[in-house]
Amino acid sequence: MVPYENLNKNFRNCQKVIDREVVHVVQATNELDRCLESREATVGSVVSLIDNMVEKLTILKRKANEAISIEEDSAQVCKKRLAHLKERENCNGSALNVWKKKRVDRMLVEYFLRAGYYETALKLARHSDIEDLTNISLFLVSKEVEESLQRGETVACLCWCNSNKSKLKKIKSTLEFNLRVQEFIEFVKLNRREEAIAHARRYFTTVEGDQLAIVRRIMGLLAFSPGTTIPQYRKLLDGSKWQELVDQFREENYKLFQTKYYSSTDSDARGRIISYEDSVSFWENYSC
């Protein structure tokens, strides 16, 4: 599902870029039309507007070519995945063993990525020539975001939220809100109260329901020093919230790309363990 979701995402992003450039071309065309209809038009002004329109058209062409290239790359990844799956139908003998080895390597790469062994995953994928058959790019982006959150930074995660805004809205994500809450808390911890208040006015004026209750609670931090010992406020100020943000990002990233929380290796191992336990239970109760 990841290649398809990437293709879908790239298509939407490219469409937005092209639509924006088309608007610029239309605006330039309208300006030229108005100039030509005016009795005060001069050769210099017309030439300037034509040059402007040519520039806008050139930008549109470049952006369209870039968009086509991005979409073709995404489509090729989907095509390669499908071709790999179709190979299984005609495989036998040694060819089947090669296909099975690739499958095992793919499972191992996915396991290493989820376990955080990124270098190992990359080396195995390159050695087995299966980079296009794995989700390495997805996990490398996740790695950057998670590491930035662990450093107490929100910029990378907020950029990720912005680029996936429409899909996050569909799943009713609270990640961006929680990031803004954490930013407010960090301002309070640094005793930058005026900035905390400005931040709250900018991001929390339209919240409601459960989020409004959270905002009311964190606003109480303004009445206490960063070293307060009151339990409910002390908990808000400790560093555990950053790990909660990492966990939420990871979960929603998997959800967005319809990726399982556990790797195929984990699922396979769990299935075998359950099967073994069932068989043991059967023979233990055979005489019942």
The single-letter code of the amino acid at 104 is V
In this prediction the pTM is 0.70
Q: Quick one: pLDDT at residue 282?
A: 47
| pLDDT of 276 strictly over 50 | no
Q: Quick one: pLDDT at residue 43?
A: 86
Average pLDDT over residues 245-257: 90
Range with the lowest mean pLDDT among 147-156, 205-214, 233-242? 233-242
pLDDT, mean over the chain: 85
Q: Quick one: pLDDT at residue 154?
A: 96
Cβ 219 vs Cβ 200: under 8 Å: yes
- The DSSP code sequence of 208-245 is -THHHHHHHHHHGGGGS-TT---HHHHHHHSTHHHHHH
Average pLDDT over residues 108-120: 88
Model pLDDT for residues 160-210, shown as the tens digit of each residue: 999 888 889 999 999 999 999 999 999 999 999 999 999 999 999 998 889
Q: Quick one: pLDDT at residue 60?
A: 92
Q: Quick one: pLDDT at residue 240?
A: 85
CB environment 230-261: b (16+ within 10 A), e (fewer) = eeebeebbeeebbeebbebbbebbbebbebee
Could you give the CA distance from residue 262 to residue 50 in angstroms, rounded to a whole number? 57
Token couple for 287: 């005489």
Model pLDDT for residues 75-98, shown as the tens digit of each residue: 888 888 888 888 888 778 888 888
CB environment 52-73: b (16+ within 10 A), e (fewer) = bbeebeeebeebeeebeebbee
| pLDDT of 48 strictly over 60 | yes
Residue 94: which residues within 8 A CB-CB, separation 6 or more?
A: none
| pLDDT of 278 strictly over 60 | no
